[in-house]
Amino acid sequence: MSASSSYPSFDFDGPVFRAHEGGKLGVHATQPLRDRDDLSLLYTPGVADVCRAIAADPSLSARYTGRRNTVAVITDGTAVLGLGDIGPLAAMPVMEGKAVLFKHFAGIDAVPVCMETGSVDELVEAIARLAPSYGGINLEDISAPRCFGIEAQLKERLDIPVFHDDQHGTAIVVLAGLLNAATVVGRTLPDLRVVVAGAGAAGVAVTALLQRAGVRDVVVCDSRGIISPSRADLTGHKHRIAASTNPRGLSGGLASALVDADVYIGVSGGTVPEADIARMAPRSIIFALANPDPEVHPDVAHRHAAVVATGRSDFPNQINNVLAFPGIFRGALDSGASQITEAMKLAAASAIAALVPEPTAEEIVPSVFAPGVADAVADAVAALA
């Protein structure tokens, strides 16, 4: 189908649309169905014995169904990539793509579940009712601050791993990259001054994980400037950020936060003026992670920073969640873990960083296609289950 007059900017005959036509997923059977004997084993009457066994001992579902190797990739389409609130139908191509990544990198069967949005309680109830079909729940592209409450309630309610990748996958790979970037510039995490631009899902999780890893001086900025207790407009999770960050009591906007900062981590979009970047400390580190347009273009960042990373695949040092989430779930599923702990996240970041034994300014994280990434992360997670 060619682009119609209603959609003049879409090339329906181009390679992107052709790659998505019919969807990117299918269903395959793991056992052959060749004749009546196979039918009696796979379905009735043979299946009845398996059902009775699981009814007597629910833990057997992990062995005699595909549940243990199946993850639900769940969204309500309210915060999709850089597209925002586009709804569940438009979110489906992203969730299908996520499922392809699960399968390719970790051999996990992932099922997109795109839901109509609702309140936190409504979504928690709906997801909890679906949970018996899955060995894990990967929350995806759900807007903040609702995503925090949804994840917290599900973790409390369910006995399977629940992981919001926009938060924790991002944080794990950022930490991995920062561990190696600090090595490149001859620094350690505790003596870095870090600025996180963005107080949404990714910004909150990045801040928390960096603090657990030993970073002492983190300043978080939102669209109104530095988050601090002196601001009267803070609500919810931003109060918690204000209580644990900004130890030097800074005030003002992002430009003020960047003065003498060692690290800038952008997870909010927008553009940071070069003049503000120029006020950072010598041999600084810039992670400009907005896609498709980094907050600081790498050409600009390299004029002022010793190490530069983006979220894009066409520049060195791509901070990509694919380095984390396949292995995280592989390790959790294989070990029978009921949750993904903070210790597991730290171990996963260290495992990713260790895959670059001699980091350089041009290589602080491995390629997503480097052999053994998912296995290394899975081993680190499973060891702590």
CATH number at residue 307: 3.40.50.720
Q: How confident is the model at residue 9 (pLDDT cuts 50, 70, 90)?
A: confident
Residue 29 lies in a domain: no
Q: Residues with Cβ < 8 Å from 40, sequence gap 6 or more?
A: 46
- Looking at residue 283, its amino acid is R
Name the average pLDDT for the chain: 95
Tell whether 97 and 205 lie within a shared domain: no
43 is catalytic: yes
- The CA-atom distances, in angstroms, between 374 and each of 9, 70, 178, 355, 377 are 38, 16, 19, 11, 5
The reply to whether omega before 190 is within 30° of 0 (cis) is no
pLDDT band at 8 (very low <50, low <70, confident <90, very high): low
Q: Are residues 154 and 231 in the same domain?
A: no
Catalytic position from the list 7, 24, 43, 103: 43
* One domain, residues 106 and 83: yes
Residue 136 belongs to domain with CATH number: 3.40.50.10380
Residues 6+ apart with CB under 8 A from 364: 177, 180, 181, 184, 307, 309, 317, 356
In a domain, 46, yes or no: no
Residue 153 shares a structural domain with residue 179? no
As a whole number of angstroms, the distance between CA 160 and CA 25 comes to 24
Q: What pLDDT score does 236 carry? A: 87
Question: What pLDDT is stored for residue 5 in this prediction?
Answer: 47
What string of DSSP letters covers 81-148? Answer: TTTBS-HHHHHHHHHHHHHHHHHHHH--EEEEEE-----HHHHHHHHHHHGGG-SEEEE-S--TTHHH
Domain with 343, as residue range(s), is 165-384
Does 231 lie in the same domain as 169?
A: yes
Say if 59 falls within a structural domain: no
- Note whether 90 and 120 are same-domain residues: yes
Task: Indicate if 153 and 190 belong to the same structural domain.
Answer: no
- B/e letters for 189-203, b = 16+ CB within 10 Å, e = fewer, are beebbbbbbbbbbbb
Q: How far apart are CA 290 and CA 81, in angstroms?
A: 9
How confident is the model over 198-211, as pLDDT tens digits?
Answer: 999 999 999 999 99
Domain for residue 192, yes or no? Answer: yes
| Residue 206 and residue 331 share a domain | yes
End of a domain among 115, 145, 160?
Answer: 160
Residue 151 marked as a ligand binder: no
Whether residue 291 is annotated as binding a ligand: the answer is: yes
Same domain, 258 and 333: yes
Q: At what angle do helices 342-354 and 373-382 cross, to 10 degrees?
A: 150
User: Does 140 belong to an annotated binding site?
Assistant: yes
**Is 98 a residue of the active site?**
yes
- Cβ–Cβ under 8 Å, residues 215 and 194: yes
Place of tokens 């890893």: 213
- Considering 131, 160, 189, which residue would you say is the last residue of a domain? 160
% of the chain surpassing 90 pLDDT: 95
Phi, psi at 343, each rounded to 5°: -65, -40
The catalytic position among 24, 64, 98, 134 is 98
For range 316-329, the mean pLDDT: 98
Measured CA to CA, the distance from residue 61 to residue 340 in angstroms comes to: 21
Q: For residue 3, tell me if it sits in a domain.
A: no
pLDDT band at 7 (very low <50, low <70, confident <90, very high): low
Domain boundary among 160, 189, 206: 160
Tokens read off for 218: 């983190």
CB 297 within 8 A of CB 312: no
Q: How many domains does the chain have?
A: 2
Same domain (yes/no): 141, 172? no
219 and 144 fall within a common domain = no
Q: Report whether 141 belongs to an annotated binding site.
A: yes
Is 18 within a domain? no
**In-domain check, residue 51:** no
Asked if residue 6 is part of any domain, the answer here is: no
Residue 203: HSE in the Cβ half-sphere, 13 Å Cα cutoff: 31
Instruction: Say whether both 154 and 186 belong to one domain.
Output: no
Chain segment 210-247, per-residue pLDDT in tens: 999 999 999 999 999 999 999 999 988 999 999 999 99
| Residue in 142, 26, 17 with CA at minimum distance from that of residue 74 | 142
> CA distances (Å), 368 to each of 256, 282, 316, in order?
35, 30, 12
Q: Is 314 among the annotated ligand-binding positions?
A: no
pTM of the model: 0.94
Tell me, rounded to whole angstroms, the distance of Cα 308 from its chain centroid.
20
In sequence order, the 6+-apart residues with CB closer than 8 A to the CB of 216 are: 190, 191, 247
What pLDDT, on a 0 to 100 scale, did the predictor assign at position 2?
A: 42
